[in-house]
Amino acid sequence: MGMFEELKEIVGEENFSDRAEELLVYSRDSSFFQETPICVVRPRTGDEVARIVRLASEKRVPIIPRGAGTNPCGEVVGRAIVLDLSGMNRIIEVNERDMYAVVEPGVVRDELNRALEAHNLFFPPDPASSRVATIGGMLANNSSGLHAVKYGTTQDYVLALEVVLPSGEVIETGTLARKSSSGYNLCRLFVGSEGTLGVITRATLRLLPIPEHRETVAFTIDSLDELGGVQEAVMALLPAAFEYMDEICLRVLAEKEGLKVGGGSGIIAVEFDGVRGEAEACAERLRGRFGEELSTGDIWEMRKTLVPLLATYSDKSPLAVTEDIGVPVSKAPDAIRRVKGIYGEAGFEVAVYGHLGDGNLHMRVFGEPTPELEQAADEVYSYVIDAGGTISSEHGIGRLRKKYMEAQHGPALELMKRIKQALDPEGIMNPGCML
């Protein structure tokens, strides 16, 4: 029997495709990479995943696990069997007393939180793509987003994982206890591994009680020189979200979303949460201190739609190149200046925004992926590494940033390669990604 026939036998005819039009859809993620997969399979159970991976391992055929495909770094694009896990979307258990949920990887982040509302619980990591991003994708990238400044990242909420290893063998790692010092932390190894070490088929996630109140304050700034003072004032109050958007973002939000704003060269949006009186008091401390105060009605909705909105700014595409760099928090204002300077000198316009409370800056460069752009990106990354920062705060390495891994990690990269070799000696799991 040919491999396609065997795959059909595992997942059923309707969950297999090698039709050109479907392969075209799976040939892209949110990056500018494109490659046609060999075929697509949509497993429904962990057992099916294990059988598929075992088959791929026997046949030495590459395999790429995939969620919603929101990754902007070419992480799930390649000549491989694409394993679309979005159909494995059951919430298996919610435990209120012990505050955890057991979920399959295809559960969409916002849908999980909607289901958790009835239990007065929530899963804090909050990527801008939360309406579509899957838990599996978030685990694969250690995603975080808007609330990381107070709540941390996906890895901080993983109690246990079920993983199909590249051989097809299934392991469970972690416990239901809130903390553990037992053995190597394999959960942390698989989180952020971008589908290169195995397939996560089930996750036990730590949850928190929903805060009683959320209070938002947003205002404009007139110049980047104010950012240091703003950061100091906001960080001292332990914000739940702390976002910056530059002048291009401000203009796009005013034009397309009707944000009412008189002027300014950027926007700061801050959220406090917790007991009502305390959250309100924190916001009050910021009011009237900086630029024009903005109506906060849907500022977070606007913020979450920024990436698609930036596509309307120019007739050039808003490219994701150096789009989630991270620097020590206090260096963020300087990093914004440097990034704008580097791209500006190379002749590119760039929109910069991001999670100011984490020192995590996003940017979209308007243009084409030319050698000049790549050179400017090289410069940005080398500045970031020199500043003690990271080439990726939350989106992962994918195929886009592989070439910077050595500069970032030095000899530790060799150890990463040895781990990969130990777990996946045939190199079938998402080859070409990350390492």
Binding mask 370-409 for ligand LAC (x = CB under 6 A): ------------------------x---------------
Question: Distance from CA of residue 36 to its chain's centroid?
Answer: 23
Distance between CA atoms of 396 and 71, rounded to whole angstroms? 8
Sequence-distant (6+) residues with CB within 8 A of 404 are 381, 385, 391
Q: How many CB atoms lie within 10 A of CB 262?
A: 9
Q: Taking the CA of residue 274 as centre, how many other CA atoms within 13 Å lie in the half-sphere pointing to its CB?
A: 16
Least distance from ligand LAC to the Cβ atom of residue 399, Å: 18
Least distance from ligand LAC to the Cβ atom of residue 40, Å: 26
Minimum CB distance to ligand LAC smaller for 147 or for 202 = 147
Residue closest to ligand LAC (Cβ): 128
Contact with ligand LAC (CB under 6 A) among 67, 125, 137, 145: 145
Distance between CA atoms of 255 and 257, rounded to whole angstroms? 6
Q: Please tell me whether residue 67 binds ligand LAC under the rule CB under 6 A.
A: no
Closest of 170, 171, 195, 164 to residue 65, by C-alpha: 195
Distance between CA atoms of 93 and 70, rounded to whole angstroms? 26
Q: Taking the CA of residue 157 as centre, how many other CA atoms within 13 Å lie in the half-sphere pointing to its CB?
A: 27
Sequence-distant (6+) residues with CB within 8 A of 58 are none
Least distance from ligand LAC to the Cβ atom of residue 306, Å: 6
Closest of 76, 295, 107 to residue 196, by C-alpha: 76
Whether the Cβ atoms of residue 293 and residue 328 lie closer than 8 Å to each other: no
Least distance from ligand LAC to the Cβ atom of residue 356, Å: 11
Closest of 395, 378, 375, 241 to residue 324, by C-alpha: 395
SS3 57: helix
Minimum CB distance to ligand LAC smaller for 45 or for 390 = 390
Q: How many CB atoms lie within 10 A of CB 318?
A: 23
Least distance from ligand LAC to the Cβ atom of residue 143, Å: 8
Q: How big is the chain, counted in residues?
A: 435
Minimum CB distance to ligand LAC smaller for 148 or for 200 = 148
Least distance from ligand LAC to the Cβ atom of residue 393, Å: 8
The two tokens of residue 374 are 């790549």
Least distance from ligand LAC to the Cβ atom of residue 417, Å: 28
Distance between CA atoms of 328 and 357, rounded to whole angstroms? 10
Per rule CB under 6 A, count of chain residues that contact ligand LAC: 7
Q: Please tell me whether residue 362 binds ligand LAC under the rule CB under 6 A.
A: yes
Least distance from ligand LAC to the Cβ atom of residue 245, Å: 10
Q: Please tell me whether residue 109 binds ligand LAC under the rule CB under 6 A.
A: no
Least distance from ligand LAC to the Cβ atom of residue 362, Å: 5
Q: Please tell me whether residue 128 binds ligand LAC under the rule CB under 6 A.
A: yes
DSSP string covering 12-55, please? -GGGEE--HHHHHHTT--SSS-----SEEE---SHHHHHHHHHH
Distance between CA atoms of 10 and 48, rounded to whole angstroms? 6
Minimum CB distance to ligand LAC smaller for 7 or for 128 = 128
Minimum CB distance to ligand LAC smaller for 346 or for 361 = 361
Least distance from ligand LAC to the Cβ atom of residue 182, Å: 33
Minimum CB distance to ligand LAC smaller for 147 or for 206 = 147
Q: Please tell me whether residue 286 binds ligand LAC under the rule CB under 6 A.
A: no
Q: How far is the CA of 213 from the CAs of 146, 153, 280, in angstroms?
A: 17, 21, 9
Minimum CB distance to ligand LAC smaller for 307 or for 384 = 307
Minimum CB distance to ligand LAC smaller for 127 or for 166 = 127
Binding mask 299-318 for ligand LAC (x = CB under 6 A): -------xx-----------
Minimum CB distance to ligand LAC smaller for 88 or for 309 = 309
Minimum CB distance to ligand LAC smaller for 69 or for 168 = 69
Contact with ligand LAC (CB under 6 A) among 69, 74, 127, 136: 127
SS3 191: coil
Give contact residues for ligand LAC (rule: CB under 6 A): 127-128, 145, 306-307, 362, 394
